[in-house]
Structure 1
Amino acid sequence: MLAMHYRYVLPADYDMGIIRRRIQERGAQLDDHPGLAFKAWLSADRGAGRLPTPCNAYAPFYVWQEADAMSRFLTSPAIDGLARSFGWPAVMWWQVWSSMSGALAESVCASVEHVPVAPWTDLGGLREQEIATAGRMAAQGALASIVALDASRWSLVRMQLWPELRPDLASQQRQLIRRRPRLHRPPHPFSLRKPPCHWFASPCVAANPPTTSPPCATASIAR
């Protein structure tokens, strides 16, 4: 499985209602996309005030069952439409190490965290630690927990969905934003330990990308 993420930083005076309408109107378009295990409609609204965020952003997060599915999406008209609306995306992707889910419909907040991996790290040991951490997050109330590795930049991404607002979790590496009402749930939990299934969440989430990643596009903003 592969996790995928792109992020557009929007102007400070951008009308975030445009993003909310985009999520509401287009949220169901990928429901039956072959090979898509998960999509979270991610955005951050600096004017909302209920969770800390330094900027307005639109930053969807995906999990794909296999590389061909991600490739088909990236070469589809959907990406062309995205680029025409917001500019050319800088797409990040990771190999999924662990994923767990629970009562997703109850989530109201999500967190995304980027963590560097030091040279000569015992990757097998790190993977086991991260799987254990994901389990602890679930025990602490996370309704979904994903951890994945980018071996080209040697960084991890961690994503959780929470049943309540968690401003206490905000940090330089981690951001939090409210979930929007739209939520699609599969019949079975999304887990690497079970057969692949489809579930869709549409939280408003913002993530700080790793410092080594290319800057996100800000041109050609749709109005």
Structure 2
Amino acid sequence: MYAMQYEITLPADYDMQVIRRRVAAKAPALDHLPGLGLKAYLIRERGVDGSPVNQYAPFYLWASTGGMGGFLWGGAGFGGIVDSFGRPVVRHWTGAACLAGPDRGGVPRHATRHTEPMPADADPTGLVTEAVADLRRRARQPGIHTAALAVDPRSWELVRFILWTDAGAAGDAPLYQVLHLSTPQLGEISRAA
């Protein structure tokens, strides 16, 4: 499993209805994309849920690198982003765990992404093992649809991504709105918490 996200920060006065209409029109095309575990079409809207910015920031969990490559440079979708907004930086992480929460059958309305640096002098084996155990505990909370953990071995950073049907327990991480969720191979990359 591989995690990926790009963030397109838009002007403060940008009409976010444009993004909502874009997602409504184009998102169903990825509902059956081979190699895609999950795509959460995320936005942050200035002044909503504490966001200081307008941003389109989809988050992906890929079942295969072939699917990810096909999307980014194989003509399976990313070209539309490049045509509309230019080519954004695409962050990516190696997946460590993807867990189904108790509300997997519900519709997620919010998402959080929390990043945490690993101490430079620590063995990543123990840190990732502890982070997966912590994710298992968190993923059992009511209101969680899916919880995932990934690692950036370039900067040694842990990334925890959670989809919420009820964001009441989301904590202090930036809160994204989920406009659509494509899950063609989610069952293949996730286990029960």
Aligned mates of 1:5, 1:149 — CA distance in 2: 13
Matches within 5 A, 1:64-75: 64-75=62-73
Give the deviation of 1:32 after TM superposition. Answer: 2.1
Aligned to 1:206: none
Quote the Cα distance in structure 2 between the aligned partners of 1:9 and 1:167.
Answer: 26
Aligned residues: 188
Distance 1:76 1:187 in 2: 19
In structure 2, the residue matched to 1:89 is 88
Aligned to 2:120: 119
Match of 1:106 in 2: 107
Aligned to 2:153: 151
What's the CA shift string for 1:71-121, capped at 9, x where partnerless?
Answer: 111113322221121121101111100111242533222111111122132
Structure 1 CA distance for aligned equivalents of residues 105 and 175 of structure 2 = 16
Instruction: Flag the structure with higher strand content.
Output: 2
| Amino acid aligned to 1:85 | S
1:163-208 residue CA offsets vs partner (Å, 9 max, x unmatched): 21338612xxx2112333x4456697454459xxxxxxxxxxxxxx
Contact 2:38 2:184 in 1 (8 A): no
Aligned pairs for 1:1-223 (under 5 A) are: 1-47=1-47, 49=48, 51-77=49-75, 78-102=77-101, 103-141=104-142, 142-166=144-168, 169-170=171-172, 174-180=173-179, 182-184=180-182, 189=187, 191-193=189-191
For the structure 1 residues 101 and 186, does the alpha-carbon distance in structure 2 shift closer, same or farther, using more than 3 Å as the test?
A: farther
How far the C-alpha of 1:58 sits from its partner, in A, is 0.5
- For 1:38 and 1:187, the matched residues in 2 are separated by 7
TM-score computed with the length of structure 2 as normaliser: 0.87
Unmatched tracts of structure 2, length 5 or more: none
Taking the aligned partners of 2:72 and 2:113, their CA distance within structure 1 comes to: 22
Output one character per residue of 1:16-51: Cα deviation in whole Å (capped at 9) or x when no partner.
Answer: 00111111111111122221111110111114x3x1
Greater Cα offset, 65-74 or 34-43: 65-74
Structure 1 spans left out of the alignment, 5+ residues: 195-223
Q: Secondary structure at the match of 1:4?
A: strand
Give the residue type in structure 1 aligned to 2:159: V
* Aligned equivalents of 1:18, 1:74: Cα separation in 2: 23
CA RMSD of aligned residues (A): 2.2
More helix per residue: 1 or 2? 2
Mapped to 1, the partners of 2:80 and 2:163 lie a distance apart of 28
CA contact (8 A) 2:112 2:170 kept: no
